[in-house]
Amino acid sequence: MRLSPATVAAERDWVRDRTAVVRLINGVRSDLGAAFGVEVAPVSEADYRAEVDAVFADGDLAVNVAALVALLRDLDVEDDYPGFVVDELLGRELAGMIAGSQPLRLLGEATFHYADVTHHPEGETAPGGGEHEPSEPAGVDDLEAALAAGFQTRLPGWDWTEGDSPFAVE
């Protein structure tokens, strides 16, 4: 794989255009909100695209996100199971990288596993919906789960992230 500014821009465009991820984000938010007894604001396609732009505006972050996106977009292991660990590792790392610094990074990584388990390619998905083509590599569903987990974590909508922490020491 060769990464260049043009490659990073192309991967950003692919991620930005993959708006089916928004349904997955909102499904995850709905499910997690219900599990924790809180209301979580949904995300719009415009919110998602703006946050994709913010991630890719940081060049150091962008090149690493682009590399993981490109790897997952192309990852397909015969009989899939031997590749299970690889796509989980890459997906978890991508979700954490997008989510941000701690504790959001850890939450993004944990949410990736939930989104991945509940996201089923080729039509039926829970939560949220999906737009997989049968010909897409197996890594694409992990990529979508990673994008959903990372962006849903970093985007506003969770009350506990909306104000100053009560644990800050002045």
What would the pLDDT profile of 95-132 be if each residue is shown by its tens digit?
A: 999 999 999 999 999 999 999 888 765 554 434 444 44
Report pLDDT for 51. Answer: 97
Q: Domain extents for the chain?
A: 5-159
pLDDT over 90 at 145, yes or no = yes
DSSP state of 167: T
**Residue 162 pLDDT class (50, 70, 90 cuts):** confident
| Contact present, 130 and 77 (Cβ < 8 Å) | no
| CB hemisphere CA count around 22 (13 angstroms) | 16
Residue 17's H or E segment, with its range, is helix 5-17
Kindly state the tokens that stand for 76.
Answer: 């397909």
Q: pLDDT tens digit string along 21-43? A: 999 999 999 999 999 999 999 99
CA 94-24-102 angle, 5° bins: 40
Nearest 10 degrees: Cα torsion 114, 116, 122, 128: 40
pTM for the full predicted model: 0.87
Question: Both tokens of residue 146?
Answer: 């990673």
Count of all residues that appear for the chain in the document: 170
